[in-house]
Structure 1
């Protein structure tokens, strides 16, 4: 029996960065070496609503900290720590931080997130 060493890969964007969609992102796992999924930690400052957008891929949010108002296809629901939500490809989405601390959630995408999967649904003067 032959054994292979574990294949270690690193996301190219492991440090938190600001996106124009009004959110901070730290990509924990997003590599062409693993195209089936990506994992990011996202942070929305107090009082901020992310850009209305859709993805051409499946996405899940898992809320880690704070409290938010999730909007999917115009329908809203409050999210609290430990809540999960699935967002199907093509659904419009955004989240508003309604709490007193940063809203932090994990984002899992299948297949992995790439910029070409993102569509901005806001007018230029809204952002």
Structure 2
């Protein structure tokens, strides 16, 4: 059976991670996957963190930024770049542009707050 999940962008919420989140799909009925739109304002760096036992792919939709593992790896990202983040890997992104950095965060297994590990 097909299931439609409609998004209301007015439901964006701000996180301690320093970004705005809109959950596109995140339900216990689909435990293997979640998708969220993330928005980072210009000049902001998200909190260094890892997702326990959850891998993630960022798909950049607009803006530009710098991805980092907080130690040795850094690289620039822009629209339509995809970044694979293995489970338990430290990560953060800085918006280096003058417009919002917007990307999809696709998690496998689905994101639950208990998997979030702050590294700051």
TM-score, normalization: structure 2? Answer: 0.91
- Aligned pairs for 1:8-27 (under 5 A) are 8=4, 15-27=11-23
The corresponding residue for 2:2 is 6
Q: Is the CA contact (8 Å cut-off) linking 1:51 and 1:94 kept in structure 2?
A: yes
RMSD: 1.8
1:90 deviates by 1.0
- Name the larger-Rg structure: 1
Query: Is structure 2 residue 64 aligned with structure 1 residue 67?
Result: yes
> Which residue of 90, 95, 98 corresponds with 1:97?
95
Instruction: Name the CA distance, whole Å, in 2 between partners of 1:6 and 1:105.
Output: 25
Query: Is structure 2 residue 85 aligned with structure 1 residue 80?
Result: no
Change (3 A) 1:93 1:86: same
List gaps (5 residues or longer) in structure 1: 123-127
Aligned residues: 117
SS of equivalent to 1:116: helix
The corresponding residue for 1:34 is 30
1:8 deviates by 4.5
1:72 deviates by 2.1
